[in-house]
Structure 1
Amino acid sequence: MRCKSKLHWSTQPQTMEYIHTTTPNSKKGNIYQTVCLLSICDATPTSFGSFEEFLVALSEKLRQEGWKHVVIFRERPIENVEKSLLSLGVKIKIIKPSKFGIYNFIQFYKVIKEFKPDYVHFHFYQIYSIVNYLSFLFDIKIIYTDHMGSRKPTSAINKLMRKPYYFICSKFFNVGIEKVVCVSEFVKSKYLTDYGIKPKKMRVIHNGINTTRFQKKSDTKEIKGKYNLKEEIIVTCIGLRFDKGPHCLIKAAPLILQKVPNVKFVLVGSGNFRDYLEKLIDDQKIKDHVLMTGIVTDVTDIYNISSCVVVPSVCEEAFCFIVAEAMAMEIPVVAFDSGAIKEVVHNESQIVPKNYTLLADRVIELLSEEDDISHKKEMRNHIIENFPLEKSVNEYFQLYKNISQNKE
């Protein structure tokens, strides 16, 4: 989930009217109408990340096919995301979801009544809820994408109740769902192993990234100057949240510095966890070796100056854009064995158990290796072949068409 934007906006979102076209794919009554997709995202874009690029690329595909696209965010997105969507004829609305399902039901009822979509696609929403009963009131197809990995229950009661809770919810609210898209095989498997739900309505469509944007640049001097970096070896960790595990890298840092002293650890992101990390950095006496950048506007700059990217996720990752983005830029990755990361990496030697000492050992080994250009090219080619943005967008569009033709 993305944090709230710190930029100030007017209370009403800017919208752009559609250029109406007709297509024989949607027939309501005896009148053919433009097919409409309503994407409801429980997210607030504060950067132009890979999920935002997916929405833009999907909108472009829909426009080419003569479809409409309406996107709902929980709060107004940053300007470049908004402008990119509006330029493609997308309408944007802001609805902040409630903890109360009946309130969400009423809000989405109003939106569906206004835009009359053919498909309603939920992103980052609870899958089994009363909202699915909207399918009884409208001629719509409901799709969910499950972007979430999994976390261990925080108490014995949660552990005991997790499976029956999700299982019972699925029995009550499974109605109306056409398909649940899982962004990895790991996500699909959790329904059976964690929730006891048979994945009959599920299929896997991996996330994709813009491999044109994420590619190595030859000149790094200007970028290093921007961050006051010299000739240090750069070890990067992105995401200052507990579940992303930056504290594990900080604990590993003194062990790495013993063997490779000329290292700068670059931590990207912001949030409440930063205070804890700053104290941990002081405790480890490595303050001179750490750069905390805050939120960056273009993360490709950080990848470009990195010697390696560390992904010490302590949660079970649903996919992990960071791994795919770094590899597309030919940057070696060392990651914890977390969820679907094994599905993304090129080689399982990039994976280590969730232990900061083993993490340090692997980073030291990697930094000590000779630069292998052919291996880096293999990493990029692996991402281009398996996780390009175009492939993901085309699979989603084909899914919509198959559902309308009862092929799914």
Structure 2
Amino acid sequence: MNKRIRVLHVAEAAGGVERYLQTLFKYSDKEQVENILVCSQNYDYKKIKSLADRVIVLKMAHQIDPTSDIKVEKALRRIIKQLKPDIVYAHSSKAGALARIADLGLKNKVIYNPHGWAFNMQQSAKKKEMYKWVEKISDHFCDKIVCISDAEKESALREKICKPSKLQVIYNGIDLEEIKNTISKKRAKLNIPEDAFVVGMVGRLSKQKAPDVFVKAASLIKKKIPNAYFLMVGDGELRDQVEEMIHNFDMDSSFLITGWVDKPTAYMKILNAGCLLSRWEGFGLVLPEYMACGVPIVATDVDAIPNIVKDGVNGMLIDEDDYREAANDVDKIFKHPDLTSSLVKTAFNIAKNKFDGKRVAQNTELLYKELM
């Protein structure tokens, strides 16, 4: 191919989507693909700039804001007309709607990746229906929808979001090379006792990720494992509520909330057990990261998570909101080192063989070529 495929990525949501894009850009064939990113102010501009060919930052509102959204759509349309990308690739529901509206009538191909359907979130029935109709209408303005898991594709088919032929599953992946080279944090520098059994949760402190369930489980774990220590890597709108819960359980001295960090896997490497107790989950990027870091997993049996974690094989699955079961499974990890060793070994091999970010970049490039 003489000409590089110019892809204009549009992304508002940070967190998992940002890490996805970092890995995608890092392993893209730069002789074949030119990656340009239009992102929100929440992105780590400097880090992304070193991986993409160009980065443009637009101020975007996370919630629906007609005044802000119209400004973003106008700016996006100007950018698309100016740069003339071969493909516009929209990431997550908000950017998905903005980019597809901004691109109406322009001559390029459009890919949309919801990174977890908004209608699968726990919310009112009215909101669920609204999100479904938005997705069904917006479907007419894109050429392909990428699902990050089989569960995501099944959701789309169940709700009749689009024709089956428009859906393509490209499993999420992680940067195994970077994780391998990441230096573990030192417990002493974090004021964590060297002999502590460290139980962690990596993710946003939001309703979806259920930090309240993690704290409730921690209160039971502490009774079973007196030297247990709890590490929450992330931040979010529920932080004040979570800190109040920790205080009410009289566990302030056994908890550390780091806030947002640059390399969460550096913190994962000091964990003795890792939790993802989500109430809904489009994929759960932290799961293969736990697996690659050799951390035994306790996770909820919801949405895409059982596509990644098989109960008793490479982790343990519990029912949603069941903090007692979460505490019991962490206790099993503590008390049964042979079981833990088996889970970790299997999980590591699965991460290496199934969730390599290089494969995501390769599959995505094939999709670009199919659309050209």
**TM-score, length-normalised on structure 2?**
0.86
- Which residue is 1:16 aligned to? none
Point out the structure with max Rg over C-alpha. 1
- Which residue is 2:59 aligned to? 96
Q: How many residues align?
A: 360
Q: 2:217 aligns with which of 252, 266, 269?
A: 252
Q: Distance in 2 between matches of 1:194 and 1:388?
A: 30
- Which residue is 1:352 aligned to? 318
Unaligned runs of 5+ in 2: none
Secondary structure at 2:56's aligned position in 1? strand
The structure with higher relative contact order (CA 8 Å, sep 6+) is 2
Letter in 2 for 1:361: N
Q: 2:169 aligns with which of 200, 204, 219?
A: 204
- Which residue is 2:7 aligned to? 37
Measured after TM superposition, the shift of residue 122 of structure 1 is 0.4
CA contact (8 A) 1:44 1:75 kept: no
- Which residue is 2:147 aligned to? 182
CA contact (8 A) 1:187 1:318 kept: yes
User: What aligned pairs does 1:65-104 form with structure 2 within 5 A after superposition?
Assistant: 65=32, 67-75=33-41, 77-78=43-44, 80-85=46-51, 90-97=53-60, 99-100=65-66, 103-104=71-72
- Which residue is 2:346 aligned to? 378
1:224 to 2:187 alignment: yes
User: What aligned pairs does 1:22-33 form with structure 2 within 5 A after superposition?
Assistant: 23-24=1-2
Q: Distance in 2 between matches of 1:375 and 1:332?
A: 6
Q: Distance in 2 between matches of 1:176 and 1:156?
A: 25
Q: Distance in 2 between matches of 1:171 and 1:319?
A: 21
Q: Distance in 2 between matches of 1:391 and 1:283?
A: 46
1:273 to 2:256 alignment: no
- Which residue is 1:191 aligned to? 156
Measured after TM superposition, the shift of residue 127 of structure 1 is 7.9
The change in CA–CA distance for 1:152 and 1:397 in structure 2 (over 3 A counts) is: closer
Q: 2:227 aligns with which of 262, 266, 275?
A: 262
1:337 to 2:301 alignment: yes
- Which residue is 1:387 aligned to? 355
Letter in 1 for 2:114: D
Q: Distance in 1 between matches of 2:47 and 2:108?
A: 27
Letter in 2 for 1:57: K
Write out per-residue CA displacement over residues 16-50 of structure 1, whole angstroms, 9 at most, x where no aligned residue: xxxxxxx44xxxxxxxx5431111111357x9963
- Which residue is 1:326 aligned to? 290
**TM-score, length-normalised on structure 1?**
0.79
The change in CA–CA distance for 1:170 and 1:272 in structure 2 (over 3 A counts) is: closer
Letter in 1 for 2:40: R
Write out per-residue CA displacement over residues 220-264 of structure 1, whole angstroms, 9 at most, x where no aligned residue: 6x6111111121000001122222111101111222122211100
Measured after TM superposition, the shift of residue 112 of structure 1 is 1.3
Secondary structure at 1:243's aligned position in 2? coil
The change in CA–CA distance for 1:74 and 1:136 in structure 2 (over 3 A counts) is: closer
Give runs of ≥4 in structure 1 deviating > 6 Å. none
Identical aligned residues as a percent: 25
Measured after TM superposition, the shift of residue 401 of structure 1 is 0.3
Q: Which has the higher helix share?
A: 2
The change in CA–CA distance for 1:232 and 1:49 in structure 2 (over 3 A counts) is: farther
Q: Distance in 1 between matches of 2:143 and 2:169?
A: 14
Measured after TM superposition, the shift of residue 194 of structure 1 is 4.2
The change in CA–CA distance for 1:297 and 1:319 in structure 2 (over 3 A counts) is: same
